Structure formats: structure tokens, C-alpha cells
């Protein structure tokens, strides 16, 4: 079983991406990783807390313009502030940096946020999303219990959130139409088909519904729903 870890990520360019979801958001659950984007915040974090893993992206404008002596001093601060059990990870393609950082005991990642390797090498905890998670989150978003969400009723205030939850389950958990129906205590897969069509139609015609479904989808996919429930 993978153990949840406290992770510190220092990347001054982390928001410089054209992607809707940054790769790092697919790797970590946000309530266990701390992002910092400037050196003062980073030094404050390492001075006040012990971390299991520290990721530092050295391929940023910040590190490209500092002298070797300054870089060495920065690395020494990181090492001195943390216990020996902390794994320090450098993201860099610079040969001189790689040589120096390896000598200091850093693991080197030449490909930025190699998600598969990071998960395997550091045994990163990753919560597996389930239909029950979606039911709980969607119900809570609509200010009702999951039990209420699953009630057999034609009340639109319950039916619509349930159909949205089914839509999300189909896209995020299982493509098996019968399984989705079963998880929502419905008789057969035709109920799932109807829910998918209904939500798709609503998203095409109602911008507020589309915004809501996109919001729920994003939070569930990235793990933000876990932090929202704290």
C-alpha cells in the first residue's frame, strides 16, 4: 500500500502552461502538496517543516540567471534544513547542474514531471476515484446527502444532480453502462444512456449547467474534491 507523503514543490514557472490542467495536478492531491513560486516562500517552508520529498525545477528563469556559487549556497540550505530521510529531486537538463546536484544526493529528472516515474520511484499516494466519491461530492455540492441523491423520485432537484453524477461516473470511473446503472441502484443500462444524453443536451443549451459540470469534473479529476471536503 502506498503511503501518503508531504511534498514541497518549488517551481517559479509552474503556471506557464497552455494546458487547461497542469501535469502536476494530475500527479498530486492538493491537500498533501505545497506549491511555492518564489525563493523567499520556499526558504520559509523548508525552515519551518520537515518534508518527505522536495521537488525543485531548476529549468526556470530564476535559476538560469544565478551564479554557480549562489546555486551551491541554495542547495546547501535545502540539504541542511531537512532530515536525511527527505528525498531531494531536481528537474534539470543542464549538465553542470546535474553533475553538482548528483554529488549532493539529488535525484535527477530530465523530463519535467515524469508522472509515471515519480509515482513508481517515490511510491506517491494516489487516491483511486470511485463512484461513491462522485456521489458524495455531487450530493454535497447540491446541499443534500448521497442517500437523498439516490432516492427513487422524479423531483427535478434530485434527478438532475443524480444524472450529473452518473455522467461524471461514466467519464471518470467506468465506461460500463450497466455498472453505472447498478451503482445508482437503477434497473438497466438504458437509465445510464438517458442520463448521458440529458446531461449532454443540458450542457449544449445551458451555460450554467456546463460550467457546473466542468467544475465538478475538474475537481474530481485533479483530486481537489478531497481538499474541498476537509
Band the pLDDT of 93: cuts 50, 70, 90. Answer: confident
Q: Which one has a higher pLDDT value, 32 or 84?
A: 84
CA 98, 103, 106, 108 torsion: positive or negative? positive
Q: Look at residues 99, 6, 1 and name the one whose alpha carbon lies nearest to residue 49.
A: 6
The yes-or-no verdict on residue 109 having pLDDT over 80 is: yes
Query: What local confidence, expressed as pLDDT, does residue 156 receive?
Result: 94
Name 174's Cβ contacts closer than 8 Å, sequence gap at least 6.
131, 180
Q: How far apart are the C-alpha atoms of 68 and 18, rounded to whole Å?
A: 31
- The least confident of 42-56, 129-143, 160-174 is 42-56
Which structural domains are found in the chain, ordered by start?
7-122 (3.40.50.2300), 131-228 (1.10.1750.10)
pTM listed for this prediction = 0.54
Q: What is the mean pLDDT of residues 32-54?
A: 86
Residues belonging to the chain: 230
Q: Which one has a higher pLDDT value, 7 or 115?
A: 7
How is the beta sheet containing 53-57 ordered, strand by strand?
33-36, 7-10, 53-57, 87-91, 107-109
pLDDT averaged over every residue in the chain? 83
Q: How far apart are the C-alpha atoms of 167 and 191, rounded to whole Å?
A: 11
Q: What are phi and psi of 77, to 5 degrees?
A: -65, -45
Please return the burial class of 146, using the count of CB atoms within 10 Å of its CB with bins 0-12, 13-18 and 19+. middle
Evaluate whether 9 touches 126 at the Cβ level (below 8 Å). no
C-alpha cell belonging to residue 156: 427535478
Amino acid at each position: 500500500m502506498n503511503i501518503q507523503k508531504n511534498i514541497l514543490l518549488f517551481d517559479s514557472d509552474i503556471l506557464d502552461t497552455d494546458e487547461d490542467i497542469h501535469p502536476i495536478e494530475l500527479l498530486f492531491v492538493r491537500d498533501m502538496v505545497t506549491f511555492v513560486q518564489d525563493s523567499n516562500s520556499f526558504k520559509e517552508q523548508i525552515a519551518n517543516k520537515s518534508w518527505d520529498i522536495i521537488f525543485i525545477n531548476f529549468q526556470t528563469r530564476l535559476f538560469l540567471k544565478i551564479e554557480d556559487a549562489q546555486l551551491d549556497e541554495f542547495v546547501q540550505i535545502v540539504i541542511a534544513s531537512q532530515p536525511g530521510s527527505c528525498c531531494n529531486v531536481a528537474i534539470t537538463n543542464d549538465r553542470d547542474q546535474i553533475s553538482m546536484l548528483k554529488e549532493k544526493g539529488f535525484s535527477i529528472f530530465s523530463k519535467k514531471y515524469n508522472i509515471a516515474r515519480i509515482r513508481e520511484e517515490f511510491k506517491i499516494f494516489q487516491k483511486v476515484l470511485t463512484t461513491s466519491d462522485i456521489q458524495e461530492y455531487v450530493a454535497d455540492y447540491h446541499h443534500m446527502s448521497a442517500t437523498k441523491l439516490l432516492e427513487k423520485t422524479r423531483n427535478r432537484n434530485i434527478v438532475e444532480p443524480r444524472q450529473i453524477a452518473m455522467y461524471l461516473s461514466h467519464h471518470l470511473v467506468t465506461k460500463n453502462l450497466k455498472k453505472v446503472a447498478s451503482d445508482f441502484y437503477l434497473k438497466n443500462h438504458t437509465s445510464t444512456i438517458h442520463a448521458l444524453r440529458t446531461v449532454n443536451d443540458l450542457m449544449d443549451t445551458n451555460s450554467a449547467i456546463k460550467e457546473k459540470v466542468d467544475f465538478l469534473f475538474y475537481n474530481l479529476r485533479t483530486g481537489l474534491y478531497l481538499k474541498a471536503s476537509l
